[in-house]
Structure 1
Amino acid sequence: MLAPDSFKGTIDAPDAARALADGWRSVRPGDELLARPMADGGEGTLAAVAAATPGAVLHEVPGCTGPDGRPVTGRYALLPDGTALVELAVASGLPLMARPAPLTATTRGTGETVAAALDAGARRLIVTLGGSASTDGGAGLLSALGLRLTDADGRDLPDGGSSLTAAARVDRGALRPAPAGGVLLLTDVTNPLLGPDGAAAVYGPQKGADPAQVDLLDRGLARLADLLGGDPEQPGAGAAGGTGYGLAAAWGAAIAPGAAAVADLLGLDAALAGADLVVTGEGRFDATSLRGKAVGEVLTRAGRHGVRAAVVAGESAEPGAALTLTALAGSAHAARTDPARWLHAAGAELAARAARAADR
């Protein structure tokens, strides 16, 4: 079974699985291969789940509001059981920004995508929370679903986390109800909303915020929490610039570890039960890979089923723990330039090792 995560910034999980499979077949064409591209609730989850779910239908939502206000195309997958899967990074991700704008970046486009999925009849919603460009507490997303945040004069707040400090009232009267089947948020982080471990302090600098802006964003999120209630200390509330908190407080969404939830969606345990070997992988393999990441989840479940496992990585912090594309290509630059080629080589190398082991 081939169950890699994406190699971030170079190749997505389904393409990585295909390259590994092609390489393996070049050496052992008679083997049965099963692709189960993985994800942990961050970027790439939509592609991984859609690729591995028979009957999943991808829908595009043109004209959504990007994180910097420019139009982008949203996407969601409608699964056969009526669940809609929305990946926040598609319409509200940091790579969509022309330049950093930590104070004004918005999640509105994700809300517009969610609204389209509900209009299409989605009975349950899963939202993945990785890769956010904003620190707005999900206010933009919720505004697109009908929530109103106003200042002391009754004026609607502009998008962006910095405006939240002026929030005086919240009006839920026009907020669309959550789907009957509930809302599940997938994340690979456990940060609370506020404080030194919160959304602004930990992730704001990655989005371009300086110390003064981090303080402003944290105060805005605190004001939002005063108005919405809920539990800002909940693990994962700080995910995606506080979007975890916003959807939990306004819509009663549940927050769950992404890798485990994706593994369940993909039927990973059932697939492992019939496997002799599982190959997983990611861009960089290190100690954090085993703590809530997709690779760690695959390895844990493989161990539970007594299935041998191998790791392929762009690079590894632990020599010998993974077959690295950097070693195969001769340099990290070469590996990143053509990851499919070197994943093909990795698949072939692992198949050759399996052949040698079978001959002994």
Structure 2
Amino acid sequence: MTRVLRVVIAPDSFKGTASAADAAAALSAGWRAVRPDDELTQRPMADGGEGTLDALESAVPGARRVPVTVRGPGAAAAPVATHWLRLPDGTGVVELAATSGITLLDPLAPLDAHTAGFGEAIAAALDAGATRLLLGLGGSASTDGGAGALAVLGARFADATGEPVALGNRGLGALAHVDLSGLRPLPSRGALILGDVTNPLLGEHGAAAVFGPQKGADAAAVEMLERHLDRLASLVPEDVRPLAAAPGAGAAGGTGFGLLAWGAEMGGGAELVAAAVGLPAAVAGADLVITGEGRFDGQSEAGKAPTVVASLAHAAGVPTALVAGAITAEPRGFGASLALADLADSGAAAIAEPLRWLHAAGAELARTVG
């Protein structure tokens, strides 16, 4: 008689192709097609980027979406009808991907994209009485150092004539004066940044060099992005300048730096989401944990959801399997790994039908690992 296994399925979203909830459901269906009697528990994950609101909404009883319309992330972008999340304890959760995210901008505008919409959603949560903020970073379209969001919240970024500079990184090239004294105060219980990277603002590991190309920047544009971020960092108040080197300051095109300058604290997005969805309790006593994301690469070990899930499972003595659209770095800490691109024979095929290949991956793991 086949032993009944307890399997926890906790993927992040496969960005741009499948939500975390849909990915978990497809993996579960594939597993169940091979081993129908096993006990499956789905715990969709997020790390502060796309899907964070969804994960927290599903995990926290009484959470409620609050609609808000904000400026799109580019000069010609249409307004974005989106939402923030109100938790029962008065916490407001605002997700940059849902307000100023890269999926909201077509074509990409690496020099002119901005975070003003993110700031407008933060302001809406404050206006509604949020006593604490969780600010999800990730999936950004811009490299503006968070200046767009801070400008909405009361900061002034002016040129040599005293006029406000244009939104976006290009506008920072004319920056001559930064005044943060008009920033709205933090809510009474503070603000926590949910980030999935540890990059500083500047340098070879900074926002422009590492993430600029993902946002459409060529080599010349990356150089300009870096130069303008450096200008921003040199003009903020002297006591704020060291924050440019803080881990996570480079998150979301430097929005981490802007939020730190406001007074927010840096936190681990995936760790907080894992606690909120009850992942540690679900993993305890499991026989296998399956996690995943769209692309497992060199950045995945820096606090992204699959690595956090694997760490929790390892602490509980439970083996972990990884499923990713593509795997371009050694998946250390995983007992098994599958790339959808390999199952589908090409990355394009996997992207075209992600749920089909996630189902196939679940079935393959049930056959080989179960």
Shift of 1:352: 4.7
Contact 1:192 1:237 in 2 (8 A): yes
One of 43, 60, 63 as aligned partner of 1:53: 60
Q: What is the 5 A alignment of 1:182-221?
A: 182-221=190-229
One of 251, 256, 267 as aligned partner of 1:239: 251
The corresponding residue for 1:34 is 41
Contact 1:278 1:302 in 2 (8 A): yes
The amino acid of 1:269's aligned partner reads: P
How far apart are the structure 1 equivalents of 2:232 and 2:159? 12
What SS does the aligned partner of 1:279 have?
strand
What SS does the aligned partner of 1:85 have?
strand
How far apart are the structure 1 equivalents of 2:298 and 2:155? 41
Per-residue CA deviations over 1:102-154 (Å, capped at 9, x if unaligned) read 22211000001111122222211111221211111111101111222222322
Structure 1's 237 and 20: CA in aligned 2 closer, same or farther, altered over 3 A?
A: same
The corresponding residue for 2:358 is 343
How far apart are the structure 1 equivalents of 2:67 and 2:51? 16
Shift of 1:15: 0.7
1:267 aligns with 2:278: yes
TM-score, normalised to structure 1's length?
0.88
Tell which deviates more after alignment, 135-144 or 74-83.
Answer: 74-83
The corresponding residue for 2:139 is 131
TM-score, normalised to structure 2's length?
0.86
Structure 1's 247 and 63: CA in aligned 2 closer, same or farther, altered over 3 A?
A: closer
Per-residue CA deviations over 1:57-82 (Å, capped at 9, x if unaligned) read 22231243333342112322222222
Q: Where does structure 2 lack aligned partners over 5 or more consecutive residues?
A: 1-7
Specify which structure has the higher proportion of helix.
1
Contact 1:279 1:310 in 2 (8 A): yes
The corresponding residue for 2:148 is 140
The amino acid of 1:336's aligned partner reads: I
Shift of 1:321: 3.4
Contact 2:72 2:104 in 1 (8 A): no
Shift of 1:182: 1.2
The corresponding residue for 2:75 is 68
One of 36, 47, 50 as aligned partner of 1:43: 50
1:225 aligns with 2:233: yes
Structure 1's 54 and 216: CA in aligned 2 closer, same or farther, altered over 3 A?
A: same
The corresponding residue for 1:114 is 122
Tell which deviates more after alignment, 178-187 or 215-224.
Answer: 215-224
How far apart are the structure 1 equivalents of 2:177 and 2:250? 22
The amino acid of 1:279's aligned partner reads: I
Structure 1's 294 and 215: CA in aligned 2 closer, same or farther, altered over 3 A?
A: same
1:84 aligns with 2:92: yes
Cα RMSD after superposing both structures:
2.5
How far apart are the structure 2 equivalents of 1:241 and 1:123? 26
How far apart are the structure 1 equivalents of 2:143 and 2:343? 39
How far apart are the structure 1 equivalents of 2:295 and 2:112? 31
The amino acid of 2:357's aligned partner reads: W
The corresponding residue for 1:13 is 20
Structure 1's 291 and 141: CA in aligned 2 closer, same or farther, altered over 3 A?
A: closer
The amino acid of 1:325's aligned partner reads: L
Structure 1's 216 and 275: CA in aligned 2 closer, same or farther, altered over 3 A?
A: same
Contact 1:37 1:48 in 2 (8 A): yes
The amino acid of 1:347's aligned partner reads: G
How far apart are the structure 2 equivalents of 1:123 and 1:72? 25
What SS does the aligned partner of 2:71 have?
strand
The amino acid of 2:325's aligned partner reads: G
What SS does the aligned partner of 2:258 have?
helix
Q: What is the 5 A alignment of 1:272-311?
A: 272-285=283-296, 288-311=299-322
Per-residue CA deviations over 1:42-70 (Å, capped at 9, x if unaligned) read 22322233233332222231243333342
What SS does the aligned partner of 1:34 have?
strand
Contact 1:68 1:97 in 2 (8 A): no
1:177 aligns with 2:192: no
1:256 aligns with 2:271: no
How far apart are the structure 2 equivalents of 1:310 and 1:216? 41
Structure 1's 324 and 217: CA in aligned 2 closer, same or farther, altered over 3 A?
A: closer
Per-residue CA deviations over 1:183-237 (Å, capped at 9, x if unaligned) read 1112222222123332223322332334444343333323322332312111111
The amino acid of 1:246's aligned partner reads: G
Q: How many matched pairs? A: 354
What SS does the aligned partner of 2:74 have?
coil
How far apart are the structure 1 equivalents of 2:327 and 2:225? 35
Structure 1's 154 and 118: CA in aligned 2 closer, same or farther, altered over 3 A?
A: same
How far apart are the structure 2 equivalents of 1:342 and 1:209? 31
How far apart are the structure 2 equivalents of 1:20 and 1:314? 13
